[in-house]
Amino acid sequence: MSQNKKLFYVTTPIYYPSAQLHIGHAYTTTLADILNRYKKLDGYETFFLTGSDEHGEKIEKKAKEAGVTPFEFTTMIVNNFKLLWNKLGIEYSKFIRTTDQAHEQGVQKIFSKLYHKGDIYLGEYEGLYCVSCEEFLTESQLDKITQQCLVCGNKPKKVKEETYFFKVSKYSQFLINYYNSHPTFIEPEARKNEMLNNFILPGLTDLSVTRTTFSWGIKTLENNKHIIYVWIDALSNYLTALGYLSEDETLFNKFWNNTNVEILQLLGKEIARFHTIYWPSMLESLGLRQPNKLLSHGWILFKDTKMSKSIGNVVDPLYLIYQYGRDVLRFYLGYEIPTDHDGKFSYEMFLESYNTHLVNNIGNLVSRVSNMISKYFNGELLSQGTLKNDLIDSCLLAIKNYQIVMNNYQIAKALSIVLELCNKANKYIEESKPWELEKNQETTQLHTTLATLAYVIIVSAFLLQPVLIDHAQKIADYFNIDLQNLTFSTILSQEMIYNKRIEKKANLFERLNVEQELKRIEAELNQ
């Protein structure tokens, strides 16, 4: 019965359709997709939300420059977002646009609810506003000498206007208590401490949540001079996407208003403040539960600086996908960029990582083992008693440990467990020397050795599925096995490897000449 199914709701930030997305954005969405696929593999019913954050002054300005309406402008870019997600194999359940009518109505109702609760009040705001980051800046967010925004480098402008405020100051104690009683609510821990020390403990100031100086936004029902300023609009998407306060709250009741659902929200560190302070306060004010975890990852740096359109150092994920395939990019993002600190991207690192792990380790293992089974056993292993040896023990332990770390959303660690297992299998070939067993006609021992290796490969393919969405099945194809038929419990039985046609096939991953590739990339990108 579906009511008994375990439930998982995962969200990414909704991206600004002001420019094309780069691999920094692809990173968050890929992590969400990997975790979502893992949860499905583990028997969960899931809901995976991503989308676009379309209102605000910056987009209004850009559309004007392009000579189109803001909606026409964002639609063009949103279509490119969807194309990218499609090429990257992102299986979202819903793509929300903040211009969707249902979202706009939902946000107005949320605003009214907060207002009637007494948590939103009219006042006047004077401050430095960064148009590019869509936020009012505090002293600590400004360069001391140039007075430029530390995140984007633009100069904020002085703004004074009538505005509604959200009474976040009222929630300071709630936040402190909640953080204390739920020690893993915000990860990594350093981010939680940063929020406490930089913002909460020095005293929270109420947040300006409406504007009157531009019109591209959602009007408040209370006062039509005011449009709801980006963050209340944007954060509400996580609820409106599920139909919160609409006529049909089925999804909301299933995936939010239910303490059994595991809710994971992914976000980059630059928007941690909004997600760890304002968002939990809004939820508390609305009388709603909190997510289980706010996972705030670091940045992908390109040569030590944050990738950004204005610096001109962005890496286009579509280029990498067209050149090397989506699995190679998904693997790099999942394995090489840990979530608890900043990670780096360079084309060289990308190519080296591919050669080391996908070609030399996994690809090599699959090709050697399938070749030997074709050659020595005419492509078929016959059923034998349960295999028991050190490599099998390592394999069973790997399955367990993989689940433990994936349940903690540690994708890089999970991948290192699988890579380590494949490394062990490659070593086992060197040590057991199947070619000598064949020469000495030790057929039983040879059969056991190759069956052990075949089993390890199928387990690895099974565990790699959330990341290598094309190649995991390609690996299993060598052994004529359909991964869709396997689960975390059936994978424990070794029977599936026997009495199948095991074939030698073209290489899984072709080795790349890094120097040559780098030259080609440079020539192409400079065109």
Q: Out of 53, 100, 206, 327, which residue is the one contacting ligand MSP (CB under 6 A)?
A: 53
**Which of 28/285 has CB closer to ligand MSP?**
28
Question: Within 13 Å and on the Cβ side, how many CA atoms surround 335?
Answer: 24
**Which strand ranges, in their side-by-side order, compose the sheet holding 186-187?**
94-97, 44-52, 6-11, 262-268, 293-297, 186-187
CB 213 to ligand MSP: min, Å: 20
- Judged by CB under 6 A, which stretch of 180-188, 204-212, 266-274, 376-384 contacts ligand MSP? 266-274
The closest alpha carbon to 347, from 319, 377, 311, 370, belongs to: 319
- Judged by CB under 6 A, which stretch of 7-15, 135-143, 172-180, 358-366 contacts ligand MSP? 7-15
Angle at 97 between CA 95 and CA 99, to 5 degrees: 160
Whether residue 308 contacts residue 290, with contact meaning beta carbons closer than 8 Å, is answered with: no
Q: Out of 7, 9, 24, 453, which residue is the one contacting ligand MSP (CB under 6 A)?
A: 24
Contacts with ligand MSP: how many residues (CB under 6 A)?
19
Q: Out of 63, 234, 333, 381, which residue is the one contacting ligand MSP (CB under 6 A)?
A: 234
Contacts of 186 (CB under 8 A, 6+ apart): 179, 192, 195, 272, 276, 293, 294, 296
- Judged by CB under 6 A, which stretch of 135-143, 245-253, 298-306, 359-367 contacts ligand MSP? 298-306
Phi, psi of 124 (to 5 degrees): -130, 140
Q: Out of 8, 9, 27, 509, which residue is the one contacting ligand MSP (CB under 6 A)?
A: 27
Phi, psi of 409 (to 5 degrees): 65, 30
Q: Out of 7, 10, 13, 369, which residue is the one contacting ligand MSP (CB under 6 A)?
A: 13
Compute CA distances 248 → 103, 243, 408, whole Å. 13, 6, 32
Helix axes 364-377, 443-464, angle to 10 degrees: 140
- Judged by CB under 6 A, which stretch of 10-18, 40-48, 146-154, 192-200 contacts ligand MSP? 10-18
What's the CA gap between 128 and 300, in Å, rounded?
28
What's the CA gap between 512 and 360, in Å, rounded?
11
**Which of 231/455 has CB closer to ligand MSP?**
231
**Which of 273/471 has CB closer to ligand MSP?**
273
CB 272 to ligand MSP: min, Å: 9
Q: Out of 235, 425, 467, 512, which residue is the one contacting ligand MSP (CB under 6 A)?
A: 235
- Judged by CB under 6 A, which stretch of 22-30, 89-97, 397-405, 509-517 contacts ligand MSP? 22-30
CB 8 to ligand MSP: min, Å: 19
Q: Out of 8, 9, 10, 15, which residue is the one contacting ligand MSP (CB under 6 A)?
A: 15
422 is in an annotated binding site: no
Whether residue 171 contacts residue 285, with contact meaning beta carbons closer than 8 Å, is answered with: yes
282 sits near ligand MSP (criterion: CB under 6 A)? no
- Judged by CB under 6 A, which stretch of 25-33, 176-184, 251-259, 451-459 contacts ligand MSP? 25-33
Q: Out of 16, 81, 129, 165, which residue is the one contacting ligand MSP (CB under 6 A)?
A: 16
- How many other CB atoms sit within 10 Å of the CB of residue 511? 13
Phi, psi of 87 (to 5 degrees): -65, -30
What's the CA gap between 450 and 382, in Å, rounded?
11
* Beta pairing partners, 163: 123
Whether residue 59 contacts residue 70, with contact meaning beta carbons closer than 8 Å, is answered with: yes
**Which of 241/451 has CB closer to ligand MSP?**
241
Whether residue 514 contacts residue 352, with contact meaning beta carbons closer than 8 Å, is answered with: yes
152 is in an annotated binding site: yes
Which residues 344-403 are close enough to bind ligand MSP by CB under 6 A?
none
Q: Out of 87, 306, 413, 500, which residue is the one contacting ligand MSP (CB under 6 A)?
A: 306
**Binding site, annotated residues for Zn(2+):** 130, 133, 149, 152
User: Which residues of this chain interact with ligand MSP, rule CB under 6 A?
Assistant: 13-16, 24-25, 27-28, 53, 234-235, 237, 267-268, 271, 299-300, 306-307
